Amino acid sequence: MNAAYAGIDVGGTSVKSLVVDEEGKILDEDSRESHPDGIVELVQEVAAQLVERTPQISGIGVITPGIVDAEAGVVHYASNLKLSNVALAAEVAQASARPARLDHDGRGAGFAESFYGAAKEWASSVVVPIGTGISAALCFPDRVWEGETFQAGEIGHIPVYPGGEACSCGQRGCLEVYASARNIGLRYATRTGKPPSAREVERCLGKDPLADEVWAEATEALALVLAQLTFTLDPGAFVIAGGLSGAGDKLLTPVRKALSRHLAWREPPPVVASRLGAMVGRWGAAVLGCKAAGSLSYEAWHV
């Protein structure tokens, strides 16, 4: 019987799981509602059930938001999950009797997109999930960089317009203020009185000048930060992920144009959409499961 590998994507509203075989074929896929209270017990339960359903699982990967020390297997702090200094890798390993590894959800997603997703053809890339917030996974040929204090990739709080609009973080002019899905919706609602939804803004593009305005402010702010990242990192490509990436070319075309404008004297890196979509976290976690089992078979997966 072939080995199998499990990945668990832990969030504040759902815990999603995936089990794949040596070739990356999906054997099991599930999602359960979650709540910050009792989240560790829920993850342990999910891990135990995955192993019960697929006993040949030989490694489990887990990803969470927050400040995560992958090497130690510890969630230092995750406000959305109400976790503080929890050795989650060890908890999962104990509940499942399988080796387990932990990493940050953004880095897991970055790993999946850069190693066998949208950015596979480049040696390096920056994967940018845009949803309630905005972050970045910095993908290098051999690693996704975690930062000296496990806080790399917090690009949502880059001061894109110094002294600009107030952000919920207490600073001003942060990228997230203008370009997170949440704030695109809120800024449109403030100007129009309509319900706050980025999807609604997207739907009204070309019909409502206020929607066009809010969208243009978002894509311009995003392009400015991608220009900063290009000057700094010179990545092979940018991969736009998360909820907002569902807008496809409505988002990517104006971002590409603005990025070219801000990079007058050099080629801009390609800006592409996530290939793994809502599954990206689970695929990243499954790779970790593979690594936990000491296997490199994920290198041959074709997603």
Q: Provide the binding-site residues for a second copy, judged by CB under 8 A.
A: 122-124, 136, 138, 140, 145-162, 169-171, 224, 227-229, 231-236, 262, 264-267, 269
Q: Which residue has the tokens 């880059």?
A: 158
Could you tell me the smallest distance in angstroms from the CB atom of residue 261 to a second copy?
Answer: 9
The residue written with tokens 């499942």 in the block is 96
Secondary structure percentages of the chain, helix, strand, coil, to 5: 45, 25, 35
Is 50 or 152 the residue whose CB approaches a second copy more closely?
A: 152
Q: Pairing relation of β-strands 4-10 and 57-64?
A: parallel
Nearer to a second copy, 8 or 179 (CB): 179
Q: How far is the CB of 246 from a second copy (least distance, A)?
A: 25
Least Cβ distance, residue 16 to a second copy (angstroms): 27
Please report how close the Cβ of residue 218 comes to a second copy at its closest, in angstroms.
14
Strand ranges, E, within 98-243: 100-104, 125-129, 137-139, 238-241
What lies within 8 Å, CB to CB, of 108 at 6+ separation is 9, 61, 63, 281, 284, 285, 287, 288
* Smallest gap from residue 127 Cβ to a second copy (A): 13
Considering the complex, state which of residue 159 and residue 277 has its C-beta at the smaller distance from a second copy.
159
146 versus 208: smaller Cβ distance to a second copy:
146
Q: Produce one character per residue of 272-299: b if its CB has 16 or more CB atoms within 10 Å, e if not.
A: bbbbbeebbbbbbbbbbbbbbbeeebbe
Q: Of the two residues 13 and 85, which places its CB atom closer to a second copy in the complex? A: 85
